[in-house]
A and B are shown apart, each in its own frame.
Chain A
Amino acid sequence: QKEVEQDPGPLSVPEGAIVSLNCTYSNSAFQYFMWYRQYSRKGPELLMYTYSSGNKEDGRFTAQVDKSSKYISLFIRDSQPSDSATYLCATDSGGGADGLTFGKGTHLIIQP
């Protein structure tokens, strides 16, 4: 079982909808949680970074971490066609020894 599980999608929603992207993880040592966005033929870019449990908001994006259930979420409000990309969750224990542990990514399509 991979340490971080993520539904690959594709997830297709109409423009303006609220999008919910989710990951689960198994290693309780993970303390740092990130969301990356990857456009086709590009490298991933960091969207959100959260330490431990709680919520973090940045514009239309909200990241949520529930360590008790080992569940990570990213919400996108007022979704735009330009949000169409693959979204990857990533975790780290903070020790640095294993680098970031990524989910496989969810392919999101926002229909105009």
Chain B
Amino acid sequence: KAGVTQTPRYLIKTRGQQVTLSCSPISGHRSVSWYQQTPGQGLQFLFEYFSETQRNKGNFPGRFSGRQFSNSRSEMNVSTLELGDSALYLCASSFGGTVTDTQYFGPGTRLTVL
């Protein structure tokens, strides 16, 4: 069974640009969550999508947005990039998105903002 895949793996952008990251969940999983990981703050929850609907959202500014497609693939977008957005962005998929469903993480996309 293929794991969670994320593309691209590495990305370099400059301040003010926007970026789109992609996540393909494990086949059959309908929930996709996104997290930001930095050395200073650790892993922080961005948002969760289930069946194309954003179900939960963390405490991040509106520059961070996402969507989910009918095949459960998800994208997240960051507009007007800031230096502080440099981080590892992880997505995790699970079957139903409940707390008792195991979340499987992808390898992440390393975003560097210059």
Chain A residues proximal to chain B, CB less than 8 Å = 2, 32, 36, 41-46, 49, 88, 90, 92, 94, 96-105
Q: Does B45 contact A (CB under 8 A)?
A: yes
A83 to B7, CA, bound (A): 28
Residue in B35, B42, B100 whose beta carbon sits within 8 Å of that of A99 in the complex: B35
CB distance from B88 to the nearest CB of A (A): 9
Flag if A43 contacts B107 (CB, 8 Å): yes
Q: Does B92 contact A (CB under 8 A)?
A: yes
Chain B residues, Cβ within 8 Å of A42: 107
Q: Using known A-B contacts A98-B56, A99-B56, determine if residue A43 contacts B99 with beta carbons closer than 8 Å.
A: no
Cβ contacts A to B, 15 pairs, < 8 Å = A2-B42, A43-B108, A49-B102, A92-B99, A96-B48, A96-B98, A97-B56, A98-B56, A98-B58, A99-B33, A99-B45, A100-B45, A100-B103, A102-B42, A105-B42
Q: Using known A-B contacts A96-B56, A98-B45, A101-B45, determine if residue A46 contacts B102 with beta carbons closer than 8 Å.
A: yes
Chain A residues, Cβ within 8 Å of B45: 98-101
Q: Does B55 contact A (CB under 8 A)?
A: yes
